[in-house]
Structures are given as structure tokens and as C-alpha cells.
């Protein structure tokens, strides 16, 4: 391999923040001083380069003078300590209400991954690919997110198989129940697209076109236009995550780990946006 100088555009404060989380993890595990190939600082830098530039892990490890297995282990450890900072959904909603936001946005995304051989049984009793989405015609994991009206995601879910619809994923993870609670107790409704129709009174969705082909009533068209006008900015949430952390655009890891990878990227994003309480 040929080494060459390179740079990564992450703030030094973020490297130190992650290094602090890794140091706390090592103390909890009882890791002896000097027994690791890299210090916490350089492990943090390795992890952030992987997130920011989606570097090949083997090549990235070689650049830091560690083996392929060590590089994979260090990245996995970094993902784990970051994902452990995942905010609680009810606390995130309560904070959004306390900050004065009038609503939040619920959205879902299929995170692309390599083809997976795992199968499951469909509602029709047929064997199908568990991680294949017929809607997107691709393999991936379904991730749900709750986003502020200005586009900053405040919570992301665990990964679920791509064959599931957004509404099913939101219901199975208790997202719809939490949002209905927020609308009733915090006066914080959620806006969502038509795929969440039937999620509950706290989640506002557009009126669907009548099945008989009749045009929507003027009142319904007006409400739909209003919802689109309010929701579009919030749907930037996934774009903020994917645009900043390139490793989210495609993963070769197990799709079950995608939820933790996205949660880790969410914590990094919150730090850069000064949304963490300790970073304010």
C-alpha cells in the first residue's frame, strides 16, 4: 500500500468528545493502560474518518498501523458507544415541546445494504426476502425518525426489515403511541405523509384521493397543501444525516446494525449542531 497525506473535516472538539466516550468505555471494561494499539484519541479519529468519508476499513486500519481485525473492532466499538447515547423518544418529544416547537415530523427511510438471504413469510403466506422493499426495489433496513420543523432529527429508531411498511415499523416500535401521547399531553402533534394514514389522531396525514376517482373536496385539498408546506422542511432530517456522514449511504454490514449506525450518526450530528446538553 502507498500512504498519502489526507484531511478530514470534523472539529477537534468532536474527536475529543468521542475519545472521552471511548475512555469511559475502556475504564468500565477495566482495560489496562498501554494495552491497546491506538489511544482513545486516535481510535476516535479512525471512527470519525469511517463515518465521514466511508473509507474501506482495511485500508483505513493500515493507515493507522493496525490490522484489519483491529480496525473492524475499533469501528464497532465506536459505533456502540455512540449509539448508547441514543435519546429516549418521550424525552426527545418533551424537549421539543419545551423549546416551543408547534409540531414535529415523522418520516421513514430505507437504508441501502447489500443483498441479504434471510427470508420471512408474507401476510399471504408466501416466502419473501425479509430485507427487500418492494416499494424501493432494493435491499435495506427501515429506519423511522422524528424531526424538528427546522430539519434537525431528534430521534431515530432501531432497524427493521425492509419489507415492512413505514406505519407497521412505527407501530411495532411504539413510535405512533409516543406521538399520540405527545399530541394529547404536550400539545405537540406530528405531521407525516400518507403512508402513515390511520396512525392515530396525534399524527396528521394528507387526505387520500377517493377510490372512485372523484376529485378531493376543496377543504381537503387546502389541508393537504398546508401539510405539505409545513412538512417539507422537516423531511430534510435524513438528508442532514446522509449528507454529512457518507457511510450511511450504503453499508456492507448486517442490516440489523444499521439502526445503531444511524443512532451513532445522530449523536455526532447533535454534537455538531450543539444540541447535546453538555455541548451547549
Question: What is the pLDDT at residue 15?
Answer: 97
Ordered DSSP codes for 122-190: -TTS-EEETTEETTTTEEEEEEEEEE-TTS-EEEE---EETTS-HHHHHHHTTHHHHHHHHHHHS---E
Nearest to 3 by CA among 62, 72, 51, 49: 62
Least confident piece of the model among 139-143, 208-212, 259-263: 208-212
Q: In the structure grid, which three cell numbers stand for residue 171, read together?
A: 407501530
Condensed to tens digits (0 to 9), the pLDDT of residues 167-188 reads: 999 999 999 999 999 999 999 9
Report which DSSP code applies to 162.
T
Question: What is the pLDDT at residue 278?
Answer: 61
At residue 95, φ and ψ (nearest 5 deg) are -65, -40
* pLDDT band at residue 214 under the 50/70/90 scheme: confident
CA angle in degrees (0–180, nearest 5) for 55-56-57 = 105
pLDDT over threshold 80, residue 208 = yes
What average pLDDT does the segment 206-213 reach?
A: 86
Q: Calculate the dihedral angle through the C-alpha atoms of 130, 135, 140, 144, rounding to the nearest 10 degrees.
A: -100
Question: What is the pLDDT at residue 279?
Answer: 44
Percent of the chain past pLDDT 90, that is, above it, reads 76
* pLDDT band at residue 126 under the 50/70/90 scheme: confident
pLDDT over threshold 80, residue 221 = yes
pLDDT over threshold 80, residue 280 = no
To the nearest 10 degrees (0 to 180), the angle between helices 237-244 and 258-272 is 90
Question: What is the pLDDT at residue 122?
Answer: 85
Nearest to 191 by CA among 183, 90, 275, 241: 183
32: part of which helix (H) or strand (E)?
Answer: none
How long is the chain? 280
Condensed to tens digits (0 to 9), the pLDDT of residues 156-167 reads: 999 999 999 999
CB–CB of 183/212 below 8 Å? no
Q: Which residues pair with 132 in a beta bridge?
A: 139
pLDDT over threshold 50, residue 42 = yes
pLDDT over threshold 90, residue 82 = yes
Mean pLDDT, the chain, whole residue set: 93
| 140, 177, 196 from 201: Cα distances, Å | 30, 10, 11
Q: In the structure grid, which three cell numbers stand for residue 253, read together?
A: 454490514
SS3 34: coil
To the nearest 10 degrees (0 to 180), the angle between helices 175-185 and 89-98 is 30
What is the pTM (predicted TM-score) of this model?
0.92
Amino acid at each position: 500500500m502507498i500512504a498519502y497525506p489526507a484531511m478530514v473535516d470534523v472539529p477537534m472538539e468532536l474527536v475529543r468528545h468521542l475519545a472521552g466516550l471511548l475512555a469511559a468505555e475502556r475504564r468500565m471494561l477495566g482495560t489496562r493502560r498501554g494495552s491497546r494499539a491506538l489511544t482513545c484519541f486516535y481510535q476516535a479519529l479512525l471512527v470519525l474518518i469511517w463515518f465521514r468519508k466511508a473509507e474501506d476499513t482495511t485500508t483505513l486500519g493500515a493507515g493507522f498501523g493496525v490490522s484489519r481485525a483491529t480496525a473492524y473492532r475499533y469501528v464497532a466499538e465506536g459505533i456502540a458507544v455512540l449509539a448508547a447515547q441514543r435519546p429516549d423518544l418521550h424525552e426527545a418529544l418533551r424537549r421539543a415541546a419545551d423549546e416551543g416547537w408547534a409540531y414535529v415530523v415523522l418520516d421513514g427511510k430505507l437504508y441501502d445494504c447489500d443483498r441479504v438471504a434471510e427470508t420471512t413469510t408474507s401476510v399471504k403466506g408466501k416466502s419473501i426476502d425479509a430485507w427487500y422493499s418492494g416499494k424501493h426495489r432494493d435491499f435495506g433496513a427501515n429506519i423511522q425518525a422524528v424531526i424538528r420543523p427546522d430539519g434537525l432529527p431528534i430521534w431515530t429508531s432501531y432497524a427493521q426489515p425492509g419489507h415492512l411498511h413505514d406505519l407497521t415499523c412505527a407501530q411495532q416500535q411504539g413510535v405512533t403511541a409516543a406521538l399520540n401521547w405527545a399530541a394529547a399531553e404536550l400539545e405537540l402533534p406530528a405531521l407525516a405523509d400518507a403512508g402513515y394514514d390511520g396512525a392515530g389522531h396525534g399524527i396528521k396525514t394528507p387526505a387520500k384521493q377517493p377510490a372512485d376517482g372523484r376529485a378531493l373536496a376543496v377543504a381537503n385539498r387546502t389541508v393537504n397543501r398546508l401539510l405539505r408546506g409545513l412538512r417539507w422542511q422537516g423531511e430534510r432530517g435524513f438528508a442532514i444525516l446522509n449528507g454529512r456522514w457518507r457511510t450511511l449511504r450504503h453499508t456492507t454490514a448486517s442490516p440489523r446494525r444499521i439502526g445503531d449506525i444511524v443512532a451513532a450518526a445522530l449523536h455526532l450530528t447533535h454534537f455538531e449542531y450543539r444540541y447535546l446538553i453538555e455541548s451547549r
